[in-house]
Amino acid sequence: MTGVAVALRREREALADLRVAFTGTNPRPVLLKGTAELCGGALDARVFKGLDELVRDQIMSMKTTFTPGHYRRRVAGVLARRLVATLFGE
């Protein structure tokens, strides 16, 4: 129902670069804006909270026949957090 792609760069224990994109949520794929502000420090609660806010503000809750839009938006945020944590190696 939704797809997420993450590209990140880690420099030692710091998140140096982060890009997150979604498909299946908006009328076209979305590359989140504002992820650069989450970089420069540790991968911590501040980053995940900021990512949740970006997802909430930029992902639409389109109506589908399979799942409600608000549920898909919530799942998109969870998938993004999990993928970022996995790729970072935490």
Half-sphere exposure of 22 (CA within 13 A, CB side): 27
Q: Which residues contact 75 (CB under 8 A, 6 or more apart)?
A: 1, 2
Model confidence band, residue 74 (pLDDT cutoffs 50, 70, 90): confident
State the total domains in the chain: 1
Report the CATH number that the domain containing residue 67 is assigned in CATH: 3.30.390.50
Q: Which domain holds residue 43?
A: 3-88
Q: Using the 8-state DSSP alphabet, how is residue 1 labeled?
A: -
The pLDDT of residue 52 = 93
The predicted model gives 57-62 an average pLDDT of 82
Q: Which helix (H) or strand (E) holds 85?
A: helix 69-88
Residue type at position 11: E
Model confidence at 70: pLDDT above 80: no
